[in-house]
Structure 1
Protein backbone atom coordinates (compact mmCIF):
# COMPACT_ATOMS: atom_id res chain seq x y z
CA UNK A 1 0.00 0.00 0.00
CA UNK A 2 1.62 3.31 -1.06
CA UNK A 3 2.14 6.02 1.54
CA UNK A 4 0.16 9.17 0.73
CA UNK A 5 -0.09 12.76 2.01
CA UNK A 6 -3.12 14.99 1.48
CA UNK A 7 -1.56 18.44 1.27
CA UNK A 8 -4.86 20.36 1.48
CA UNK A 9 -7.91 19.21 3.44
CA UNK A 10 -10.27 21.22 5.67
CA UNK A 11 -10.95 18.32 8.02
CA UNK A 12 -11.72 20.75 10.84
CA UNK A 13 -14.88 22.22 9.30
CA UNK A 14 -18.45 21.40 10.34
CA UNK A 15 -19.04 19.11 7.33
CA UNK A 16 -16.89 16.50 9.10
CA UNK A 17 -18.38 16.89 12.59
CA UNK A 18 -20.60 13.78 12.31
CA UNK A 19 -17.86 11.33 11.35
CA UNK A 20 -14.41 12.96 11.53
CA UNK A 21 -12.82 10.15 13.54
CA UNK A 22 -14.24 7.50 11.24
CA UNK A 23 -12.92 9.36 8.19
CA UNK A 24 -9.48 9.49 9.76
CA UNK A 25 -9.52 5.76 10.49
CA UNK A 26 -10.53 4.97 6.92
CA UNK A 27 -7.75 7.24 5.67
CA UNK A 28 -5.23 5.37 7.80
CA UNK A 29 -6.37 2.06 6.36
CA UNK A 30 -5.81 3.48 2.85
CA UNK A 31 -2.21 4.50 3.54
CA UNK A 32 -2.56 8.19 4.30
CA UNK A 33 0.26 9.15 6.63
CA UNK A 34 -0.36 12.90 6.96
CA UNK A 35 -2.90 15.60 6.15
CA UNK A 36 -2.26 19.34 6.03
CA UNK A 37 -5.23 21.29 7.40
CA UNK A 38 -5.21 24.94 6.22
CA UNK A 39 -7.07 27.69 8.05
CA UNK A 40 -9.62 30.12 6.62
CA UNK A 41 -10.36 32.71 9.32
CA UNK A 42 -8.81 33.60 12.69
CA UNK A 43 -12.00 32.57 14.50
CA UNK A 44 -11.43 29.02 13.30
CA UNK A 45 -7.82 28.66 14.45
CA UNK A 46 -8.54 27.29 17.96
CA UNK A 47 -10.82 24.55 16.61
CA UNK A 48 -8.38 23.71 13.84
CA UNK A 49 -5.47 23.43 16.27
CA UNK A 50 -7.54 21.26 18.61
CA UNK A 51 -8.53 19.02 15.70
CA UNK A 52 -4.90 18.61 14.66
CA UNK A 53 -3.77 17.86 18.21
CA UNK A 54 -6.08 14.84 18.42
CA UNK A 55 -4.54 11.61 17.12
CA UNK A 56 -4.93 7.88 17.47
CA UNK A 57 -2.54 5.20 16.28
CA UNK A 58 -3.21 4.04 12.74
CA UNK A 59 -4.61 7.37 11.56
CA UNK A 60 -2.85 10.16 9.65
CA UNK A 61 -1.16 12.95 11.55
CA UNK A 62 -2.90 16.28 11.02
CA UNK A 63 -0.61 19.26 10.51
CA UNK A 64 -2.05 22.78 10.92
CA UNK A 65 -1.50 25.72 8.61
CA UNK A 66 -2.63 29.10 9.95
CA UNK A 67 -3.63 32.02 7.77
CA UNK A 68 -6.33 34.34 6.45
CA UNK A 69 -8.10 33.25 3.25
CA UNK A 70 -8.57 36.02 0.66
CA UNK A 71 -12.20 35.10 -0.13
CA UNK A 72 -13.15 35.97 3.47
CA UNK A 73 -11.52 39.38 3.19
CA UNK A 74 -14.34 41.26 4.96
CA UNK A 75 -13.94 39.19 8.12
CA UNK A 76 -10.20 39.90 8.50
CA UNK A 77 -8.89 42.90 10.42
CA UNK A 78 -5.51 44.39 11.31
CA UNK A 79 -5.68 42.66 14.68
CA UNK A 80 -5.72 39.30 12.90
CA UNK A 81 -2.26 39.88 11.44
CA UNK A 82 -0.88 40.52 14.92
CA UNK A 83 -2.74 37.44 16.15
CA UNK A 84 -1.18 35.38 13.36
CA UNK A 85 2.30 36.50 14.39
CA UNK A 86 1.58 35.43 17.98
CA UNK A 87 0.04 32.11 16.93
CA UNK A 88 3.05 31.28 14.75
CA UNK A 89 5.36 31.91 17.69
CA UNK A 90 3.21 30.05 20.21
CA UNK A 91 1.81 27.13 18.19
CA UNK A 92 4.48 26.39 15.55
CA UNK A 93 2.21 25.56 12.59
CA UNK A 94 3.55 23.59 9.65
CA UNK A 95 2.79 26.41 7.21
CA UNK A 96 1.10 29.76 6.68
CA UNK A 97 -2.11 29.26 4.76
CA UNK A 98 -4.48 29.36 3.14
CA UNK A 99 -3.39 32.75 1.78
CA UNK A 100 -3.23 34.41 -1.61
CA UNK A 101 -5.22 36.44 -4.12
CA UNK A 102 -8.64 35.75 -5.63
CA UNK A 103 -9.57 37.98 -8.57
CA UNK A 104 -12.32 35.59 -9.68
CA UNK A 105 -14.84 36.35 -6.91
CA UNK A 106 -16.50 39.70 -7.48
CA UNK A 107 -16.46 42.41 -4.83
CA UNK A 108 -13.13 41.55 -3.20
CA UNK A 109 -10.96 44.66 -3.19
CA UNK A 110 -7.68 43.74 -4.95
CA UNK A 111 -5.56 46.28 -3.07
CA UNK A 112 -6.80 45.08 0.32
CA UNK A 113 -6.22 41.49 -0.76
CA UNK A 114 -2.67 42.29 -1.79
CA UNK A 115 -1.92 44.10 1.47
CA UNK A 116 -3.25 41.13 3.47
CA UNK A 117 -1.31 38.67 1.33
CA UNK A 118 1.98 40.55 1.59
CA UNK A 119 1.63 40.93 5.37
CA UNK A 120 1.24 37.16 5.68
CA UNK A 121 4.13 36.50 3.32
CA UNK A 122 6.25 38.67 5.61
CA UNK A 123 5.26 36.56 8.60
CA UNK A 124 6.11 33.37 6.70
CA UNK A 125 9.46 34.78 5.57
CA UNK A 126 10.42 35.86 9.09
CA UNK A 127 9.36 32.51 10.58
CA UNK A 128 10.99 30.45 7.83
CA UNK A 129 7.69 28.71 7.08
CA UNK A 130 6.29 27.48 3.75
CA UNK A 131 3.03 28.98 2.49
CA UNK A 132 -0.13 27.41 1.06
CA UNK A 133 -1.42 29.55 -1.80
CA UNK A 134 -4.99 30.12 -2.96
CA UNK A 135 -4.80 31.76 -6.39
CA UNK A 136 -7.55 32.43 -8.92
CA UNK A 137 -7.08 34.72 -11.91
CA UNK A 138 -4.05 36.21 -10.16
CA UNK A 139 -0.99 34.03 -10.75
CA UNK A 140 1.16 36.82 -12.20
CA UNK A 141 0.38 39.10 -9.25
CA UNK A 142 1.12 36.32 -6.76
CA UNK A 143 4.39 35.45 -8.48
CA UNK A 144 5.42 39.12 -8.44
CA UNK A 145 4.66 39.31 -4.70
CA UNK A 146 6.76 36.20 -4.09
CA UNK A 147 9.64 37.86 -5.91
CA UNK A 148 9.34 40.91 -3.62
CA UNK A 149 8.85 38.90 -0.42
CA UNK A 150 10.69 35.59 -0.87
CA UNK A 151 9.67 32.66 1.30
CA UNK A 152 11.08 29.16 1.68
CA UNK A 153 8.52 27.76 -0.76
CA UNK A 154 5.25 25.96 -0.26
CA UNK A 155 2.34 24.76 -2.35
CA UNK A 156 0.30 26.43 -5.07
CA UNK A 157 -2.97 24.76 -4.11
CA UNK A 158 -5.37 23.59 -6.85
CA UNK A 159 -2.98 24.82 -9.52
CA UNK A 160 -4.67 25.81 -12.77
CA UNK A 161 -2.33 28.41 -14.24
CA UNK A 162 -0.27 28.17 -17.39
CA UNK A 163 2.68 25.88 -18.00
CA UNK A 164 5.00 28.89 -17.80
CA UNK A 165 3.48 30.03 -14.49
CA UNK A 166 3.80 26.52 -13.12
CA UNK A 167 7.48 26.48 -13.95
CA UNK A 168 7.91 29.86 -12.25
CA UNK A 169 6.42 28.47 -9.04
CA UNK A 170 8.76 25.49 -9.25
CA UNK A 171 11.74 27.83 -9.66
CA UNK A 172 10.68 29.58 -6.43
CA UNK A 173 10.70 26.31 -4.48
CA UNK A 174 6.98 25.59 -4.67
CA UNK A 175 5.14 22.40 -5.48
CA UNK A 176 1.88 22.38 -7.42
CA UNK A 177 -1.23 20.81 -5.90
CA UNK A 178 -3.47 18.54 -7.99
CA UNK A 179 -6.78 17.25 -6.66
CA UNK A 180 -10.21 15.94 -7.52
CA UNK A 181 -10.70 18.00 -10.68
CA UNK A 182 -7.98 15.87 -12.26
CA UNK A 183 -10.36 12.90 -12.18
CA UNK A 184 -12.83 14.57 -14.56
CA UNK A 185 -12.16 13.88 -18.23
CA UNK A 186 -13.59 17.31 -19.12
CA UNK A 187 -10.70 18.97 -17.20
CA UNK A 188 -8.65 18.91 -20.39
CA UNK A 189 -6.37 21.87 -19.60
CA UNK A 190 -5.61 20.60 -16.11
CA UNK A 191 -4.96 17.07 -17.32
CA UNK A 192 -2.62 18.43 -19.99
CA UNK A 193 -0.69 20.36 -17.33
CA UNK A 194 -0.43 17.18 -15.25
CA UNK A 195 1.27 15.49 -18.19
CA UNK A 196 3.59 18.38 -19.05
CA UNK A 197 4.87 19.56 -15.66
CA UNK A 198 7.62 17.60 -13.90
CA UNK A 199 6.34 14.99 -11.47
CA UNK A 200 9.04 16.16 -9.03
CA UNK A 201 7.07 19.40 -8.65
CA UNK A 202 3.64 17.88 -7.91
CA UNK A 203 1.76 17.02 -4.73
CA UNK A 204 -1.64 15.44 -4.16
CA UNK A 205 -4.56 17.09 -2.39
CA UNK A 206 -8.32 16.83 -1.99
CA UNK A 207 -9.50 20.26 -0.71
CA UNK A 208 -12.18 18.28 1.12
CA UNK A 209 -15.02 18.87 1.72
CA UNK A 210 -14.96 20.77 -1.62
CA UNK A 211 -13.91 19.83 -5.19
CA UNK A 212 -14.71 16.15 -4.94
CA UNK A 213 -13.63 13.39 -7.34
CA UNK A 214 -15.68 12.33 -10.35
CA UNK A 215 -16.95 9.13 -8.71
CA UNK A 216 -18.52 11.17 -5.88
CA UNK A 217 -19.79 14.11 -7.91
CA UNK A 218 -22.35 16.14 -5.95
CA UNK A 219 -21.26 14.64 -2.63
CA UNK A 220 -19.02 15.80 0.21
CA UNK A 221 -15.38 15.35 -0.72
CA UNK A 222 -13.17 13.41 1.69
CA UNK A 223 -9.44 12.79 2.16
CA UNK A 224 -10.23 9.08 1.78
CA UNK A 225 -10.69 9.76 -1.95
CA UNK A 226 -7.05 10.80 -2.38
CA UNK A 227 -6.14 7.41 -3.93
CA UNK A 228 -8.47 8.28 -6.83
CA UNK A 229 -6.45 11.43 -7.50
CA UNK A 230 -3.31 9.31 -7.38
CA UNK A 231 -4.76 6.84 -9.88
CA UNK A 232 -5.73 9.62 -12.29
CA UNK A 233 -2.30 11.23 -12.15
CA UNK A 234 -0.58 7.88 -12.62
CA UNK A 235 -2.73 7.09 -15.65
CA UNK A 236 -2.04 10.50 -17.21
CA UNK A 237 1.70 10.05 -16.64
CA UNK A 238 1.61 6.40 -17.81
CA UNK A 239 3.34 5.36 -14.59
CA UNK A 240 2.54 2.94 -11.79
CA UNK A 241 0.65 4.25 -8.77
CA UNK A 242 3.44 3.18 -6.41
CA UNK A 243 5.97 5.32 -8.30
CA UNK A 244 3.70 8.37 -8.43
CA UNK A 245 2.86 7.97 -4.74
CA UNK A 246 6.53 7.71 -3.83
CA UNK A 247 7.49 10.88 -5.72
CA UNK A 248 4.52 13.05 -4.73
CA UNK A 249 4.79 12.03 -1.08
CA UNK A 250 8.52 12.85 -1.07
CA UNK A 251 7.67 16.20 -2.66
CA UNK A 252 5.13 16.95 0.06
CA UNK A 253 7.58 16.05 2.82
CA UNK A 254 10.22 18.27 1.25
CA UNK A 255 8.16 21.43 0.76
CA UNK A 256 6.26 21.09 4.07
CA UNK A 257 9.23 19.71 6.02
CA UNK A 258 7.19 16.83 7.40
CA UNK A 259 8.74 13.85 9.13
CA UNK A 260 7.22 10.39 9.05
CA UNK A 261 4.73 9.58 11.81
Structure 2
Protein backbone atom coordinates (compact mmCIF):
# COMPACT_ATOMS: atom_id res chain seq x y z
CA UNK A 1 0.00 0.00 0.00
CA UNK A 2 1.34 3.44 -0.99
CA UNK A 3 1.48 6.03 1.79
CA UNK A 4 -1.03 8.90 1.51
CA UNK A 5 -0.07 12.20 3.16
CA UNK A 6 -3.50 13.78 3.59
CA UNK A 7 -2.29 17.29 4.45
CA UNK A 8 0.96 18.84 3.25
CA UNK A 9 1.89 22.16 1.66
CA UNK A 10 3.98 20.93 -1.25
CA UNK A 11 3.72 24.40 -2.74
CA UNK A 12 5.59 25.82 0.28
CA UNK A 13 8.51 23.38 0.05
CA UNK A 14 11.79 24.73 -1.29
CA UNK A 15 12.49 21.63 -3.39
CA UNK A 16 9.16 19.87 -3.80
CA UNK A 17 10.12 17.63 -6.78
CA UNK A 18 13.15 16.17 -4.99
CA UNK A 19 11.29 15.82 -1.69
CA UNK A 20 8.46 14.01 -3.48
CA UNK A 21 10.89 11.71 -5.29
CA UNK A 22 12.63 10.77 -2.03
CA UNK A 23 9.28 10.18 -0.34
CA UNK A 24 8.09 8.02 -3.21
CA UNK A 25 11.21 5.89 -2.87
CA UNK A 26 10.29 5.42 0.81
CA UNK A 27 6.74 4.35 -0.08
CA UNK A 28 4.79 7.63 0.18
CA UNK A 29 3.36 8.61 -3.17
CA UNK A 30 0.13 10.51 -2.75
CA UNK A 31 -0.34 13.98 -1.27
CA UNK A 32 -3.16 16.43 -0.67
CA UNK A 33 -2.42 20.17 -0.79
CA UNK A 34 -4.94 22.21 1.24
CA UNK A 35 -5.97 25.66 0.08
CA UNK A 36 -5.31 28.93 1.91
CA UNK A 37 -6.82 31.54 -0.41
CA UNK A 38 -7.57 32.30 -4.08
CA UNK A 39 -4.03 33.24 -5.11
CA UNK A 40 -2.65 30.05 -3.60
CA UNK A 41 -5.39 27.93 -5.24
CA UNK A 42 -4.33 29.22 -8.66
CA UNK A 43 -0.62 28.78 -8.03
CA UNK A 44 -1.00 25.26 -6.64
CA UNK A 45 -3.20 24.27 -9.57
CA UNK A 46 -0.66 25.61 -12.05
CA UNK A 47 2.20 23.71 -10.43
CA UNK A 48 0.53 20.44 -9.46
CA UNK A 49 -2.79 20.24 -11.30
CA UNK A 50 -1.43 17.77 -13.86
CA UNK A 51 0.31 15.52 -11.34
CA UNK A 52 -1.82 12.43 -10.72
CA UNK A 53 -0.12 11.89 -7.36
CA UNK A 54 -1.36 15.21 -5.98
CA UNK A 55 -4.86 16.15 -4.82
CA UNK A 56 -5.96 19.76 -4.38
CA UNK A 57 -8.42 21.50 -2.07
CA UNK A 58 -9.65 25.09 -1.92
CA UNK A 59 -10.61 27.13 1.11
CA UNK A 60 -10.01 30.33 3.05
CA UNK A 61 -7.51 29.53 5.82
CA UNK A 62 -8.17 31.42 9.08
CA UNK A 63 -4.69 33.00 8.96
CA UNK A 64 -5.29 34.58 5.55
CA UNK A 65 -8.83 35.90 5.68
CA UNK A 66 -9.77 39.14 3.94
CA UNK A 67 -10.76 41.98 6.25
CA UNK A 68 -14.16 42.14 4.56
CA UNK A 69 -17.30 40.26 5.52
CA UNK A 70 -17.51 36.71 4.15
CA UNK A 71 -17.87 36.52 0.39
CA UNK A 72 -17.60 32.96 -0.76
CA UNK A 73 -18.38 33.63 -4.41
CA UNK A 74 -14.74 33.07 -5.31
CA UNK A 75 -14.83 29.67 -3.62
CA UNK A 76 -18.07 28.65 -5.27
CA UNK A 77 -16.78 29.76 -8.67
CA UNK A 78 -13.54 27.88 -8.19
CA UNK A 79 -15.33 24.67 -7.25
CA UNK A 80 -17.66 25.03 -10.22
CA UNK A 81 -14.73 25.40 -12.59
CA UNK A 82 -12.35 22.87 -11.01
CA UNK A 83 -13.95 19.49 -10.54
CA UNK A 84 -10.57 18.15 -9.44
CA UNK A 85 -10.86 19.98 -6.09
CA UNK A 86 -11.56 17.17 -3.63
CA UNK A 87 -12.34 19.19 -0.49
CA UNK A 88 -13.08 22.60 0.99
CA UNK A 89 -10.22 23.60 3.19
CA UNK A 90 -8.23 24.41 4.98
CA UNK A 91 -10.94 26.29 6.88
CA UNK A 92 -11.60 26.80 10.55
CA UNK A 93 -10.63 28.75 13.65
CA UNK A 94 -7.31 29.63 15.24
CA UNK A 95 -7.66 31.12 18.71
CA UNK A 96 -3.98 31.02 19.63
CA UNK A 97 -3.91 34.57 20.91
CA UNK A 98 -0.27 35.29 20.15
CA UNK A 99 -0.38 34.26 16.50
CA UNK A 100 0.42 37.38 14.43
CA UNK A 101 -2.01 36.52 11.63
CA UNK A 102 -5.04 35.52 13.68
CA UNK A 103 -8.09 37.67 12.93
CA UNK A 104 -10.75 38.47 15.54
CA UNK A 105 -12.58 35.38 16.71
CA UNK A 106 -16.00 36.42 15.41
CA UNK A 107 -14.58 37.35 12.02
CA UNK A 108 -13.00 33.91 11.76
CA UNK A 109 -16.25 32.28 12.82
CA UNK A 110 -18.26 34.17 10.20
CA UNK A 111 -15.93 33.00 7.44
CA UNK A 112 -15.95 29.46 8.81
CA UNK A 113 -19.73 29.29 8.83
CA UNK A 114 -19.97 30.69 5.31
CA UNK A 115 -17.68 27.95 4.04
CA UNK A 116 -19.55 25.26 5.93
CA UNK A 117 -22.66 26.45 4.09
CA UNK A 118 -20.89 25.86 0.76
CA UNK A 119 -19.86 22.39 1.89
CA UNK A 120 -23.39 21.56 2.97
CA UNK A 121 -24.73 22.66 -0.40
CA UNK A 122 -22.23 20.85 -2.62
CA UNK A 123 -21.47 17.94 -0.24
CA UNK A 124 -17.73 18.45 -0.45
CA UNK A 125 -15.81 17.28 2.64
CA UNK A 126 -14.09 19.95 4.71
CA UNK A 127 -10.55 20.11 6.06
CA UNK A 128 -10.76 21.85 9.43
CA UNK A 129 -8.03 23.85 11.14
CA UNK A 130 -8.78 24.04 14.87
CA UNK A 131 -6.40 25.62 17.37
CA UNK A 132 -7.81 26.10 20.87
CA UNK A 133 -11.24 26.17 19.24
CA UNK A 134 -12.78 22.69 19.37
CA UNK A 135 -15.89 23.78 21.28
CA UNK A 136 -16.61 26.59 18.83
CA UNK A 137 -15.90 24.37 15.83
CA UNK A 138 -18.34 21.76 17.11
CA UNK A 139 -20.90 24.47 17.77
CA UNK A 140 -20.66 25.52 14.13
CA UNK A 141 -20.84 21.97 12.82
CA UNK A 142 -24.12 21.38 14.66
CA UNK A 143 -25.78 23.83 12.28
CA UNK A 144 -24.70 21.78 9.26
CA UNK A 145 -25.35 18.10 9.96
CA UNK A 146 -24.62 17.10 6.35
CA UNK A 147 -21.03 18.37 6.52
CA UNK A 148 -18.27 15.80 6.98
CA UNK A 149 -14.53 15.80 6.65
CA UNK A 150 -11.34 15.73 8.69
CA UNK A 151 -9.96 17.71 11.61
CA UNK A 152 -6.43 18.41 10.46
CA UNK A 153 -3.63 17.98 12.99
CA UNK A 154 -6.01 17.05 15.80
CA UNK A 155 -4.75 17.96 19.27
CA UNK A 156 -6.80 17.00 22.29
CA UNK A 157 -8.02 14.23 24.58
CA UNK A 158 -10.14 11.25 23.65
CA UNK A 159 -13.37 12.97 24.78
CA UNK A 160 -12.90 15.74 22.21
CA UNK A 161 -11.87 13.23 19.57
CA UNK A 162 -15.06 11.28 20.20
CA UNK A 163 -17.17 14.44 19.79
CA UNK A 164 -15.87 14.70 16.22
CA UNK A 165 -16.23 10.98 15.59
CA UNK A 166 -19.86 11.20 16.67
CA UNK A 167 -20.35 13.70 13.84
CA UNK A 168 -18.79 11.32 11.34
CA UNK A 169 -15.43 13.10 11.08
CA UNK A 170 -11.98 11.68 10.55
CA UNK A 171 -9.02 12.91 12.60
CA UNK A 172 -5.66 13.81 11.08
CA UNK A 173 -2.62 12.71 13.07
CA UNK A 174 0.48 14.85 12.82
CA UNK A 175 3.76 15.43 14.61
CA UNK A 176 2.03 16.47 17.84
CA UNK A 177 1.68 12.76 18.70
CA UNK A 178 5.34 12.98 19.75
CA UNK A 179 4.67 15.92 22.08
CA UNK A 180 1.18 15.46 23.54
CA UNK A 181 0.43 12.34 25.58
CA UNK A 182 -3.30 13.04 25.60
CA UNK A 183 -3.36 13.29 21.80
CA UNK A 184 -1.39 10.09 21.34
CA UNK A 185 -3.80 8.39 23.75
CA UNK A 186 -6.74 9.60 21.65
CA UNK A 187 -5.23 8.10 18.49
CA UNK A 188 -4.53 4.89 20.36
CA UNK A 189 -8.22 4.56 21.30
CA UNK A 190 -10.28 5.78 18.35
CA UNK A 191 -11.25 3.38 15.54
CA UNK A 192 -8.47 2.90 13.01
CA UNK A 193 -11.10 3.49 10.33
CA UNK A 194 -11.21 7.18 11.30
CA UNK A 195 -7.49 8.02 11.26
CA UNK A 196 -5.58 9.93 8.59
CA UNK A 197 -1.83 10.59 8.75
CA UNK A 198 -0.37 13.90 7.65
CA UNK A 199 2.89 15.82 7.83
CA UNK A 200 1.63 19.40 7.39
CA UNK A 201 5.06 19.88 5.78
CA UNK A 202 6.86 22.20 6.01
CA UNK A 203 4.85 23.85 8.82
CA UNK A 204 5.14 21.03 11.36
CA UNK A 205 8.08 18.83 12.29
CA UNK A 206 8.65 15.59 14.12
CA UNK A 207 11.24 16.12 16.90
CA UNK A 208 14.77 15.60 15.64
CA UNK A 209 15.38 12.37 17.54
CA UNK A 210 12.46 10.74 15.72
CA UNK A 211 12.54 12.45 12.32
CA UNK A 212 12.61 10.43 9.11
CA UNK A 213 13.21 7.16 10.92
CA UNK A 214 11.60 3.94 9.77
CA UNK A 215 13.01 2.79 13.08
CA UNK A 216 14.89 4.90 15.69
CA UNK A 217 18.29 3.53 14.63
CA UNK A 218 17.88 4.27 10.91
CA UNK A 219 20.01 7.24 9.86
CA UNK A 220 20.11 6.48 6.15
CA UNK A 221 17.12 8.58 5.07
CA UNK A 222 17.53 12.13 3.77
CA UNK A 223 16.37 15.16 5.75
CA UNK A 224 12.95 15.57 4.16
CA UNK A 225 9.81 16.78 5.95
CA UNK A 226 7.62 14.53 3.78
CA UNK A 227 9.30 11.50 5.31
CA UNK A 228 7.94 12.47 8.72
CA UNK A 229 4.83 10.58 7.58
CA UNK A 230 6.66 7.32 8.31
CA UNK A 231 7.56 8.34 11.85
CA UNK A 232 4.05 9.56 12.64
CA UNK A 233 2.49 6.36 11.30
CA UNK A 234 4.84 4.17 13.31
CA UNK A 235 4.28 6.20 16.47
CA UNK A 236 0.54 5.61 16.27
CA UNK A 237 0.94 1.96 15.32
CA UNK A 238 3.12 1.38 18.38
CA UNK A 239 0.61 3.12 20.66
CA UNK A 240 -2.14 0.91 19.25
CA UNK A 241 0.04 -2.24 19.40
CA UNK A 242 -0.75 -2.62 15.73
CA UNK A 243 1.38 -3.72 12.80
CA UNK A 244 2.48 -0.61 10.94
CA UNK A 245 1.83 -2.17 7.52
CA UNK A 246 -1.77 -2.91 8.47
CA UNK A 247 -2.25 0.61 9.81
CA UNK A 248 -0.70 2.06 6.64
CA UNK A 249 -3.22 0.19 4.53
CA UNK A 250 -6.10 1.34 6.73
CA UNK A 251 -5.24 5.04 6.84
CA UNK A 252 -4.70 5.11 3.09
CA UNK A 253 -8.07 3.48 2.55
CA UNK A 254 -9.56 6.07 4.90
CA UNK A 255 -8.15 8.97 2.91
CA UNK A 256 -9.28 7.45 -0.38
CA UNK A 257 -12.78 6.99 1.03
CA UNK A 258 -13.05 10.51 2.46
CA UNK A 259 -11.84 12.18 -0.73
CA UNK A 260 -13.87 9.83 -2.95
CA UNK A 261 -11.03 8.43 -5.00
User: What TM-score do the two structures reach when normalised by structure 1?
Assistant: 0.87
Give me the whole-angstrom Cα distance separating, in 1, the residues matched to 2:208 and 2:11. 23
Stretches of structure 2 lacking an aligned partner (at least 5 in a row) = 213-222
> Among 15, 35, 38, which residue is 1:39 paired with?
35
Cα distance, 1:218 vs structure 2:
10
> Among 187, 193, 198, which residue is 1:200 paired with?
193
Give me the whole-angstrom Cα distance separating, in 1, the residues matched to 2:254 and 2:130. 20
Give me the whole-angstrom Cα distance separating, in 1, the residues matched to 2:209 and 2:68. 37
- Aligned-residue RMSD, C-alpha: 2.2
Distance 1:84 1:221, change over 3 A: farther
Aligned partner of 1:111 in structure 2 is: 106
Cα distance, 1:135 vs structure 2:
0.4
Stretches of structure 1 lacking an aligned partner (at least 5 in a row) = none
> Among 171, 191, 196, which residue is 2:184 paired with?
191
Distance 1:82 1:197, change over 3 A: same
> Among 212, 215, 218, which residue is 2:205 paired with?
212
Q: Which has the higher helix share?
A: 1
Moved more, 200-209 or 155-164: 155-164
Distance 1:77 1:42, change over 3 A: farther
Aligned partner of 2:9 in structure 1 is: 10
Aligned partner of 1:102 in structure 2 is: 94
Give me the whole-angstrom Cα distance separating, in 2, the residues matched to 1:79 and 1:157. 22
Aligned partner of 2:170 in structure 1 is: 175
Aligned partner of 1:89 in structure 2 is: 80
Cα distance, 1:152 vs structure 2:
4.0
Pairing 1:26–2:22 present: yes
> Among 124, 129, 134, which residue is 1:134 paired with?
129
Q: Secondary structure at the match of 1:99?
A: strand
Counting matched residue pairs gives 247
